[in-house]
Structure 1
Amino acid sequence: MQNRKLVKSEQELAEAVSLFKNYSEIAIDTESNGLYAYRERVCLIQIATADQCFIIDTLSIPDMSPLADMLSDRNVLKIIHGSDYDLRCLDRDYGFNLQSIFDTQIGARFLGDTRPNLGSVLDIYLSVQIKKSHKLQTSNWGLRPLSSEALEYAASDVEYLIDLHKELTRRLKELDRATWVKEECQRLEQIRHTEPVSPDIAFLNLKGSRKLTPRGLSMLKELFLWRDTKASVKDVPPSRIVTNDELIEICLQASSIRSSDKVTIRKVLTEIGNSVIPYNYLDDILNTLVLSVDTPEVHRPEQRRLNTFSDPEAKDRLQLLKQWRKNKSARLSLDPSLIWPVKSLERIAIQTDQWETEITDLQNSSVRSWQITEFSAELQNLILNNTQ
């Protein structure tokens, strides 16, 4: 176990940043309170060096900017496990854009691991077992003070990553896959936070919403907007007001209502039962549904789906390409998605006059350079042998 330090002030952060300058690689992770807050925040940033672990209490430090230069310094390798979420959170809250990244989850995937969670990866490659309590995984990291168990949990996410990086890199080099992972990790540098879809249209994305009639969709929209406002005021996730499944069930049951009479609507809601409608919000839901009855029906925008594989020959070509990918992934013990993007295979199958550009263009945004180097010749032979 490394020496651990809880950083709770700007002075302590400045001292930690000064120490980081002595290292060419650090491990990093974050903990956030998204399960408990409407406006999610990063609550901890854990940074480990070869011999120390710093747990930075971001809620106690108004200015986190001293970390910016180190995190964007290409001469300092940032080792993270499953980085996508952390990168988006750090960009959202602080504008931090990490450069020079090694994601140990990606590294493990390129060694053939199909379930590369941190616990299993540490066990496989370092024979290290860490305790991952579900209670702590889902705990409210915004609460203070932090328990010793919480600090232990947070530290364990980074303390072994530097050693893990070394072992993964050694094995990747043995398989000549280190450059593959390097390119994948370079792409992580482009990840940025994206704002969520506006509530005015986000309700259309709820699972089960396609079951609703236009009247039911208008009810869902009004309830969705009400829930979002309520959650914002209470600063809790919307699902803690009413779950998505509950919203859909309410609208399925109530969408047959044509009257705006509260007595009629309350009767329908009563039939749905308290198991679906939270009692605390019964009146709010009632009033919202009354208003929704008089609002225009909502019609889901039509999605034009072109049957791109109506051509039997194109369909056969795609099956051939997918089979090639499946066979190649089996030989390399890799997930098929790592071999070649399926969207690219679809374009090759359809656009027979442009396939050569698809498999050789280094500017192709979906196909990696390493994939083109490793597999384009095989793909070319496969295509030529089956289009003559």
Structure 2
Amino acid sequence: MKGDSWLWVDSVAKVAEAMADMDQSSLIALDTEYDSLHYFREKLCLVQIRAAKRTYVLDPLNGIDLSFLRPYLANPRLLKITHAGDNDIRILKRDYGFEFNNLFDTQRAAHILGCRYLALSHIVGHYLGVEIKKSKEMQRSKWEIRPLSESQLKYAVQDTIFLADLYRQLDEKLCRQGMRDQAQKAFDGMTAVSWREKTLDMLGHRKIKGFDTLTKGQQERLKRLYRWRFKKAKQTNRAMFLILSDQEILSLSRADWQSGEELQSANLLPSDKASLYGSELGKTLYADG
């Protein structure tokens, strides 16, 4: 892999090494890995920073204080290069209150230039003539589990390696085509994004497959269960489908049960979920008679 030198940052000494490299750099590439599948609020699991010498893989889960990045991300003289960096910026702002200045996003630049396919692998192939493989399975892997596999680390580091060269190609083309000001407005807009917590879709229960097969009373039960599930997911920071799936709350809406004990015996849910949530589910549906 081109320029694949990297360092796992897990000590104060390695933080100092990363800072020394960034101090000597005119630009840095930035990427993150986070889990948005299993959590109600995305969980930040890795931050990757590529400076002049190498990529630094920073682990927000290992106790390293990432606040040292604050002056670099805010520095208007240091260029930050991202690819589809909107969510990276939102999450870093949410978790650390970082400010971002002087951004160049390769996906946004390629879009302005009329590129139809905006995946990093395609843009790198098109502009740099380099083939890289991006696995959806790897992207959705459990990034919070330690130790990370060699494949996960390679995937994480790879995302930063080509961004500087890609920036140079895209920036030159934007300038040649008189689109640099348009692109800059887009980049400035990205630095202003902020994280927003998920909000309840008040009609979301109606979008569940099978809703139209329910009676009016069952539809009302489904609405109550749907809203309970959202509240529980938010409270526990777990993905809604991990609390109860759509089909599970649909089955609960159809069935005739009125207590945690009846729910257990009806086998409508796995025993662990019936035991954990049975009382709350009963109160959700029947507390007001």
- Considering Cα pairs closer than 8 Å and 6+ residues apart, tell me whether 1 or 2 has the greater RCO: 2
Q: CA deviation at 1:177?
A: 1.4
The equivalent residue for 1:57 is 59
Q: Is the CA contact 2:229–2:243 (under 8 Å) kept in the aligned structure 1?
A: no
- Segments of 5+ residues of structure 2 without an aligned counterpart are none
Aligned residues: 283
Q: Is the CA contact 2:222–2:250 (under 8 Å) kept in the aligned structure 1?
A: no
Q: Matches of 2:114 and 2:108 in 1, distance apart?
A: 10
Secondary structure of 1:158's counterpart equals helix
Give per-residue Cα distances to partners, 1:75-117, cap 9 Å, x unaligned: 1111100011111110111111211111111111112122201
Question: What amino acid sits opposite 2:91 in the alignment?
Answer: C
- Segments of 5+ residues of structure 1 without an aligned counterpart are 298-388
Q: CA deviation at 1:289?
A: 4.5
Secondary structure of 1:193's counterpart equals coil
Question: What amino acid sits opposite 1:186 in the alignment?
Answer: D
The equivalent residue for 2:21 is 19
2:288 counterpart of 1:281: no
The equivalent residue for 2:175 is 173
Q: Matches of 2:281 and 2:67 in 1, distance apart?
A: 46
Q: CA deviation at 1:292?
A: 3.4
Question: Cα distance 1:214–1:14, how it changes in 2: closer, same or farther (>3 A)?
Answer: farther
Report the identity percentage. Answer: 28
Q: CA deviation at 1:216?
A: 3.1
Relative to the length of structure 1, the TM-score reads 0.64
Q: Is the CA contact 2:39–2:239 (under 8 Å) kept in the aligned structure 1?
A: yes
Q: CA deviation at 1:173?
A: 2.1
Q: Matches of 1:176 and 1:130 in 2, distance apart?
A: 30
The equivalent residue for 2:251 is 250
Q: Is the CA contact 1:104–1:164 (under 8 Å) kept in the aligned structure 2?
A: yes
Q: Matches of 1:10 and 1:174 in 2, distance apart?
A: 44
Q: Matches of 1:228 and 1:67 in 2, distance apart?
A: 34
Question: Cα distance 1:250–1:231, how it changes in 2: closer, same or farther (>3 A)?
Answer: farther
The equivalent residue for 1:187 is 189
Q: CA deviation at 1:265?
A: 6.8
Q: CA deviation at 1:131?
A: 2.1
Q: Is the CA contact 1:35–1:140 (under 8 Å) kept in the aligned structure 2?
A: no
The equivalent residue for 2:207 is 208
The equivalent residue for 2:70 is 68
Q: Matches of 1:107 and 1:230 in 2, distance apart?
A: 36
1:345-360 aligned at under 5 Å gives the runs: none
Q: Matches of 1:206 and 1:92 in 2, distance apart?
A: 29
C-alpha root-mean-square deviation of aligned residues, in Å? Answer: 3.1
The equivalent residue for 2:46 is 44
Question: Cα distance 1:214–1:174, how it changes in 2: closer, same or farther (>3 A)?
Answer: farther
1:127-146 aligned at under 5 Å gives the runs: 127-146=129-148
Relative to the length of structure 2, the TM-score reads 0.84
Secondary structure of 1:75's counterpart equals coil
Q: Matches of 1:46 and 1:4 in 2, distance apart?
A: 10
Q: Is the CA contact 2:225–2:285 (under 8 Å) kept in the aligned structure 1?
A: no
The equivalent residue for 2:154 is 152
Q: Matches of 2:234 and 2:152 in 1, distance apart?
A: 27
Question: Cα distance 1:296–1:216, how it changes in 2: closer, same or farther (>3 A)?
Answer: farther
1:228-247 aligned at under 5 Å gives the runs: 229=232, 236-243=238-245, 245-247=246-248
